[in-house]
Amino acid sequence: MTGTPNAVEINLSAAIVAVANNDPLILTTPSGDDAERDELPFGPFNPLQHRTFETGLREWVAEQTPLRLGYVEQLYTFGDRGRHKTAEDRDLHIVSVGYLALTRTTDDNKEALRKSGARWRSWYSFLPWEDWRTGKPVMIDEMIRPALHAWAEKSGVPARLSRFRLAFGDDGIAWDEERVLERYELLYEAGLIEEAVRDGRAERTELSRMLGLPMSFDHRRILATAISRLRAKLKYRPVVFELMPPTFTLTALQETVEAISGRHLHKQNFRRLVETTELVEPTGAEQTQARGRPAALYRFRHNVLEERSVAGLRVGGRG
């Protein structure tokens, strides 16, 4: 579809997150152009049909998947020219309003998801350098560091090395799990990922095939923004409980926080943190385990929202 030079279409895109089996998941739908490529659920905003952007987003998600969204918050408006690359870039200018949504996986909707074509994927399959739960990913030192150093040296811009050190926690600088978007954009600018190749900004290399699965349009950028927001929000709002069942063990809570933050957490330190923040309370019930003693079950203590404005689990890099 070709529009006038000033024509703009507003798209609503949803980064829908869940956690299952200690894996952070993002809901994807198959691309209309390439069934092998994933994209986020999205659709155009229709001002005659949708009262608000969020209303439109919920309707598009319900149409494309069997999910009914609970927690939703707006992320950012993505309006860069060329973000939906087309021949000669003369089509409608696309502005996308990105949203973060949190939900829980259930056995009830598995078949419905399959029929819709939507599927859950680990978000680390798109951004593999973000998972530090078992230590620093090998690909950072073996692949990303040499490639970014070569790019910086070729350009003659020393500041690019500083950006790498800050983004990836190199040369004595601590890893900051919240810099997800900075890392993605640096890799894109350096032409090291498939989206840069697709947009005609770089040549395809073996490395670009290894640095995570590509997504349609700039949906991987939206995903990176969603992860950044969620990792930051864990520290001052109890959003993690949107991803938990009504009752849970402290081990399950820790594993969910680790999955989202991409960090391994010391068990006793985490439990002290949970006790200090008073975010949970015991139910009095226990969960039988395959080995060892039964584990106590807890629930989120909703009164904490009335007691203080900052109520999160301050794990990770930023204090």
For residue 86, the model assigns a pLDDT of 47
Indicate whether 80 and 183 sit together in one domain.
no
What mean pLDDT do residues 154-168 have?
A: 90
pLDDT per position as a tens digit, 7-61: 778 889 999 999 999 999 999 988 776 666 899 999 888 888 888 999 999 988 8
Q: How many domains does the chain have?
A: 3
Whether residue 87 is predicted with pLDDT greater than 50 in this model: the reply is no
Interatomic CA distance for residues 21 and 317, integer angstroms = 25
Answer yes or no: is 131 within a domain: no
Helix, strand, coil share (%) of the chain residues, nearest 5: 40, 20, 40
Indicate whether 19 and 99 sit together in one domain.
yes
Answer yes or no: is 227 within a domain: no
For residue 180, the model assigns a pLDDT of 97
Indicate whether 91 and 167 sit together in one domain.
no
Indicate whether 22 and 74 sit together in one domain.
yes
Query: Smallest Cα–Cα separation from 15: which of 50, 34, 41, 45?
Result: 41
Answer yes or no: is 62 within a domain: yes
Indicate whether 16 and 113 sit together in one domain.
yes
The pLDDT > 90 percentage for the chain reads 57
Indicate whether 155 and 116 sit together in one domain.
no
For residue 218, the model assigns a pLDDT of 87
Query: Smallest Cα–Cα separation from 14: which of 59, 79, 81?
Result: 59
Looking at the whole model, is its pTM more than 0.85? yes
Domain boundary among 190, 212, 234: 212
The SS3 call for residue 243 is coil
Answer yes or no: is 207 within a domain: yes
pLDDT per position as a tens digit, 227-274: 999 999 999 999 999 999 999 999 999 999 999 999 999 999 999 999
pLDDT per position as a tens digit, 279-307: 999 999 999 887 778 999 999 998 988 88
Query: Smallest Cα–Cα separation from 25: which of 126, 141, 165?
Result: 126
Interatomic CA distance for residues 41 and 284, integer angstroms = 40
Answer yes or no: is 239 within a domain: no
User: What residues make up the domain containing 12?
Assistant: 8-122
Indicate whether 197 and 112 sit together in one domain.
no
Interatomic CA distance for residues 317 and 281, integer angstroms = 27
CATH assignment of the domain containing 98? 3.90.79.10
pLDDT per position as a tens digit, 110-136: 777 888 888 999 999 999 999 999 999
CA dihedral sign of residues 171, 258, 38, 14:
negative
Indicate whether 254 and 279 sit together in one domain.
yes
CB atoms within 10 A of CB 312: 16
Indicate whether 22 and 109 sit together in one domain.
yes
Indicate whether 110 and 144 sit together in one domain.
no
Interatomic CA distance for residues 180 and 259, integer angstroms = 14
Indicate whether 148 and 95 sit together in one domain.
no
CA 263 distance to own-chain centroid: 15
First to last CA, the chain: 49
Answer yes or no: is 151 within a domain: yes
CATH assignment of the domain containing 270? 1.10.10.10
Interatomic CA distance for residues 144 and 109, integer angstroms = 38
Answer yes or no: is 95 within a domain: yes
Indicate whether 15 and 115 sit together in one domain.
yes
Answer yes or no: is 223 within a domain: no
